[in-house]
Amino acid sequence: MIEIVSTRALNTVQDLGRFGHRGEGVCVAGAMDRLALSAGNRLLGNDPGAAAIEVTMFPFVVRFLRDARFALTGAHCEATLDGAAVLPWWATRADAGATLTVGAPLEGAIACLVVEGGIGVEPRLGSRSTDLKIGFGGFEGRTLRKGDRIPLGPAGTARSARPGGWGIDPARLALPPVPAAGETTRTTAVRVMPAGEYEKFPEPARERFWGAQWSIGANSNRSAFRLSGPRLQAQGHGDVMYTHGIVPGIVQVPPSGQPIVQMADANTHGGYPKIGTVIEADRWRLAQARPGGALRFVPATRDEALAALAAERAWLGSISDAVERERSAAP
């Protein structure tokens, strides 16, 4: 078990998401930065879909109630284990009683605390993710609070004896950057494929969509990022269509003309015209963008989207392979 010593609102248990129930109005939920979760699980030799704690509010302090290896992935945070620095994207060991403190991110927005064996809450509808809209799944269907004792899954038998653990490059350095994006630490670039109603937007609106530097609103959250910038307007269908199913990553344009990007807790349906879809491989980049930050959309083809996803999967696979070699080589 681990005990929450100090936390603020909105830190939750998440896995890769809850699938197959959107038709019943149950959103996918799951980690906002699924890549950080997957990489962390692979660093520890966990099941790739094991649940972890998503930390969006800092500082976050937990005490380990048993010996456990853990990894901190996602946002680059100053973190300490009983006062000793913990490296980002690194798997190391905590003794029972040790206290981990995760400070505010130096880069990125969301940290992922992955523990050997995964977070051992009971799955609900096939997932350990917290669904904050309905209030089920995860730890008691809610955000974590001080004093919560979070169960851990059984640790693997292939323990590493190598002192100091091991780590990987953060995803931003390990994966190729979004091409031709001019990405800086202040501006996040994500690739977008045109979606269902793209053609219904007049050419000037499309140009503004691709050309603008969008500002991520302070009212952005796990459900959606709300952007502000030049006004976009669809034609034809009007501004609202019959309600239809939507998925995380969809970029909608409501009558205000200010885009909304659906995130992990995306609504299961909506009625606004869809101008684009953030490709799956870049959703972690968006998740790590901070409210108040700048965002650019870079056009991508289906082939480019698939290639980016393949690069991510190859990287994750190489982490698993390397960790497996380490574990078998360790004394």
Would you tell me which residues interact with another protein (CB under 8 A)? 76, 87-88, 90, 106-107, 162-170, 173-174, 315, 318-319, 322-323, 326
| Bond before 59 cis per omega within 30 degrees | yes
DSSP state of 175: S
Kindly state the smallest distance separating residue 43's Cβ from another protein, in Å. Answer: 9
Q: Which is nearer to another protein, 240 or 310 (CB)?
A: 310
Q: How many other CB atoms are found less than 10 A from the CB of residue 39?
A: 29
Helix (H/G/I), strand (E/B), else coil: 255: coil
**Contact at 8 Å (CB) between 111 and 74?**
yes
Per the CB < 8 A criterion, the answer to whether 31 and 52 are in contact is yes
CA angle 82, 42, 87 (to 5 degrees): 30
DSSP designation for 24: G
CB nearer to another protein: pick between 239 and 326: 326
Give me the least distance between CB of 169 and another protein, in Å please.
6
Using the minimum distance from each CB to another protein, give the nearer residue, 8 or 93: 93
70 versus 139: smaller Cβ distance to another protein: 70
Provide the minimum distance between the beta carbon of 71 and another protein in the complex, in angstroms, as a whole number.
12
Least distance to another protein, CB of residue 46, Å: 16
Q: Least distance from C-beta 76 to another protein, angstroms?
A: 5
Q: Rounded to the nearest whole angstrom, what is the least distance from the CB of residue 162 to another protein in the complex?
A: 8
Nearer to another protein, 85 or 180 (CB): 85
> Which residue reads 């590493």 in tokens?
160
Q: How far is the C-alpha of 241 from the C-alpha of 238, rounded, in Å?
A: 7
With a CB cutoff of 8 Å and minimum separation 6, the contacts of 244 are: 269, 270, 271
Q: Which of residues 74 and 194 has its CB atom nearest to another protein in the complex?
A: 74
- Amino acid in the structure at residue 99: T
